[in-house]
Amino acid sequence: MRLVVARCEVLYTGRLTARLPQAVRLLMFKSDGSVLVHDDAGGYRPLNWMTPPTVVEEREGSIVVRKRAGKSEDKLEIRIADLLSDVTHDMGESAALQKDGVERHLQEELAARPNALGQSLQLVRREWPTDIGPVDLMCRDASGDWVAVEIKRIATIEAVEQLTRYLERIEIEGCRGVLAAQVIKPQARTLAEARGIHCVEVDLAVLRGEREPDLTLFT
Amino acid sequence: MRLVVARCEVLYTGRLTARLPQAVRLLMFKSDGSVLVHDDAGGYRPLNWMTPPTVVEEREGSIVVRKRAGKSEDKLEIRIADLLSDVTHDMGESAALQKDGVERHLQEELAARPNALGQSLQLVRREWPTDIGPVDLMCRDASGDWVAVEIKRIATIEAVEQLTRYLERIEIEGCRGVLAAQVIKPQARTLAEARGIHCVEVDLAVLRGEREPDLTLFT
DNA sequence: CGGTAGATTTCGTGA
DNA sequence: TCACGAAGTCTACCG
């Protein structure tokens, strides 16, 4: 990885045009072709960037990064006024990030234990196909009625709309909808209940039995 | 900005838990409290990060970054096995990025020239208020009928849903819907047309008169 | 390869 | 502060 600290101006043309006035920035050139222009503030997102595959052309006082983007071209032009530092580090092999707690894990746990949704449910299949996309979980309840379950980490109105579209498309008489999420936004809950969709907030740690449901509030 | 290159392992607990196995990484500590862990590959997003406000605690062989996140806490623990470089740069004042070509510009151009939507339209107002949010453009056509226009850079099913919600809420008899975007996804077009919503793809450069419509295809 | 859904989305804006 | 919508979203997955 090459790290350059320089007073520079950056011009981007591509999906939009943008100009970054002259100031001191950090330029990162990764070995996979990624180029990032970072400021000393402003959070995790670079001010300008280009994702691989790129072509980097270095000239006197400027660096131009190009990328084919469909029929046209993306171009990042870095005009260097004052080079303050320029170092390259050999960082060797990488190792992948291991994540836990994303939506898929929630789906796996609920597929294994659909009763955690607070109803007596039996799983029929995960990723039940419809012509507009898969329903996360398709179950049947104690009465034999069908129940379509949509799972989100955070449920917004969009999740309710999505489940509603599925329910419209599912050719099953009286199929109910259940929305399960770690967090259900108030407006989503209101819309869901107005449409007869049951809402359930679930906790991944509780699902896994790592932590007991917090019942002390009610004792 | 402090830049550290080190062989390290990173543990994140917060909205999810993640472990980044030991390897050589770039650690960025911005003056606003942002902390980013970058790899020598993998595009523009850091492997791990924390956005301000943060508290950074440095100890022997490890750096812990903490942040209050609602009722719980986010924690990023960086265990340093081998410190390869550690430099700090004073980057001085920043300057804001100037953008052009985003959705707002599209709305401005279409507000100035609603006829570009391929119909004889007259603008009544931009950001027409409803109780669930503003309609981008409200117009009347040659017959005096009302037309609600939703503008997107890229129109997906969600844009159709949004416009549909507006049309349901607008208390105007026979108000039509028009979806205008630089790119309209096929599924969005299908859903829109099934609901009687007219789709128009627009080109910002053409709208501005910088480029003529490409008519050569039809000659 | 295009399209869709997820993301520790982040980030801005308006109520 | 909360909630919603945009983003050069990016990225993984599935057809």
Tens digits of residue pLDDT in A107-148: 999 999 999 998 899 999 898 887 777 889 999 999 999 999
Residue from A60, A88, A112 nearest B85 by CA: A88
Return the pLDDT at B180.
93
Cβ of A25 less than 7 A from strand C: no
CB B3 within 8 A of CB B26: yes
pLDDT digits (tens, 9 = 90+) for A29-40: 999 999 999 999
| Bigger pLDDT: B123 vs B94 | B123
Cβ of A120 less than 7 A from strand D: no
Residues of B in contact with A161 (CB under 8 A): 161
- Contact state of B89 with A92 under an 8 Å Cβ cutoff: no
The whole-number Å distance from B34's CA to C10's C1' is 13
The whole-number average pLDDT for the span B91-110 is 84
pLDDT greater than 60 at residue A204 = yes
Angstrom distance (rounded) from CA A134 to CA B84: 48
Residues of B in contact with A46 (CB under 8 A): 44
Return the pLDDT at A212.
66
Question: End-to-end distance of chain B based on CA atoms, in angstroms?
Answer: 58
Return the pLDDT at A218.
38
The whole-number average pLDDT for the span A49-62 is 93
The whole-number Å distance from A119's CA to D7's C1' is 39
Angstrom distance (rounded) from CA A214 to CA A150: 24
Q: pLDDT tier at B71 (50, 70, 90 boundaries)?
A: low
CB B34 within 8 A of CB A42: yes
- Contact state of B18 with A97 under an 8 Å Cβ cutoff: yes
pLDDT greater than 80 at residue B15 = yes
For A43, half-sphere exposure in the C-beta direction (CA atoms, 13 angstrom radius) is: 3
**What's the mean pLDDT when you consider all of chain A?**
88
Cβ of A144 less than 7 A from strand C: no
| Bigger pLDDT: B55 vs B187 | B55
Q: What residue spans in chain B does CATH classification 2.70.180.20 cover? A: 2-88
Q: pLDDT tier at B215 (50, 70, 90 boundaries)?
A: very low
CB B13 within 8 A of CB A101: no
| Bigger pLDDT: B44 vs A70 | B44
The whole-number average pLDDT for the span B3-11 is 96
| Bigger pLDDT: A218 vs A1 | A1
Q: pLDDT tier at B214 (50, 70, 90 boundaries)?
A: low
Q: What residue spans in chain A does CATH classification 3.40.1350.10 cover? A: 103-218
A103-218 in CATH: which number?
A: 3.40.1350.10
Angstrom distance (rounded) from CA A106 to CA B15: 13
**Crossing angle of the two packed helices A186-194 and A157-169, in degrees rounded to 10:** 30
Return the pLDDT at A69.
67
Secondary-structure class of domain B2-88 per CATH? mainly beta
Residue from A144, A147, A143, A145 nearest A135 by CA: A147
Cβ of A67 less than 7 A from strand D: yes
Return the pLDDT at B62.
96
Angstrom distance (rounded) from CA A103 to CA B178: 35
